[in-house]
Amino acid sequence: MKTNAGNLKKGEFVYHGGEIWQVQKADFYSPGKGSALMKTRIKNLLSGKNIEYAYKSNEQVDVLDVQSIEMQYLYRDSENLYFMDERTYNQFSLPLNIVGDVYKYFKDGDKMYVYLNDDKPLTIRPPLSVKLKVVEATDAVKGDTVTGGAKKAVKVETGVIVLVPLFVKVGETITVNPETGEYTGRV
């Protein structure tokens, strides 16, 4: 399906140079003189590479028809992540370099949305936050909290190290933004 580049939105999938790319950022820019532009940052779904690209706002762009289907994360191996559509029991795999480092925060059985085009997985929509149990943490020493902004590193059940406030203890469940790796709260 074709659309004007001026209508592109973050998250859409486009054909660019014969390959599929996902729009990471789209900003309308009007220089005053000349034609308006849609400045984009797009991510190649084969290589994982990001580039900046400026489309003329009236330029026709091929946009893919994509479905977003909730699936269960099954497991990962050294190259791929595996998901299952719980309605059909169909399984899909996605290369780690396409998904990015967010996979390090996923637990087996987590639910997330996988983008499909003609029953072929393109990438995932990572959750805004994940709940993870703290498995290793040092105890806060009395008086450490005076500064208020002090943080310590803890290890969560997926093996990732997260910076958290000093009061977080082993056994507690915390929420983390998987895109930034930042602590967002306790459960």
Q: Give the 3-state secondary structure of the chain.
A: CEEEHHHCCCCCEEEECCEEEEEEEEEEECCCCCCCEEEEEEEECCCCCEEEEEEECCCEEEECCCEEEEEEEEEECCCEEEEECCCCCCEEEEEHHHHCHHHHHCCCCCEEEEEEECCEEEEEECCCCEEEEEEECCCCCCCHHHHCCCEEEEEECCCCEEEEECCCCCCCEEEEECCCCEEEEEC
Indicate whether 35 and 49 sit together in one domain: yes
172 versus 146: the higher-pLDDT residue is: 172
118, with CB counted inside 10 A (0-12, 13-18, 19+), is: exposed
Q: Tell me: the pLDDT tens digits for 40-87?
A: 999 998 888 899 999 998 999 999 999 999 999 999 999 999 999 999
Given 62, 93, 114, the domain boundary residue is 62
Indicate whether 71 and 54 sit together in one domain: no
Indicate whether 154 and 173 sit together in one domain: yes
**Mean model confidence pLDDT for the chain:** 91
Q: Which pLDDT belongs to residue 106?
A: 95
Indicate whether 135 and 181 sit together in one domain: yes
Indicate whether 72 and 36 sit together in one domain: no
How would residue 35 be classed by pLDDT, with cut points 50, 70 and 90? confident
Indicate whether 97 and 55 sit together in one domain: no
**Can you give the residue range of the structural domain that contains 52?**
2-62
Q: What is the CATH number of the domain that holds 111?
A: 2.40.50.140
Starting from the edge strand earliest in sequence, which strands make up the sheet with 80-84, in order? Answer: 91-95, 80-84, 67-76, 111-117, 120-125
Q: 7-16, 28-37, 98-107, 127-136: which range is least confident on average?
A: 28-37
Given 125, 150, 172, the domain boundary residue is 125
Given 62, 91, 111, the domain boundary residue is 62
How would residue 145 be classed by pLDDT, with cut points 50, 70 and 90? low
146 versus 61: the higher-pLDDT residue is: 61
How many percent of the chain have pLDDT more than 90?
Answer: 78
Indicate whether 41 and 79 sit together in one domain: no
**Res 140 pLDDT > 70:** no
List phi, psi (to 5°) of 177: -80, 115
| Tally of domains in the chain | 3
How would residue 144 be classed by pLDDT, with cut points 50, 70 and 90? low
pTM (predicted TM-score): 0.80
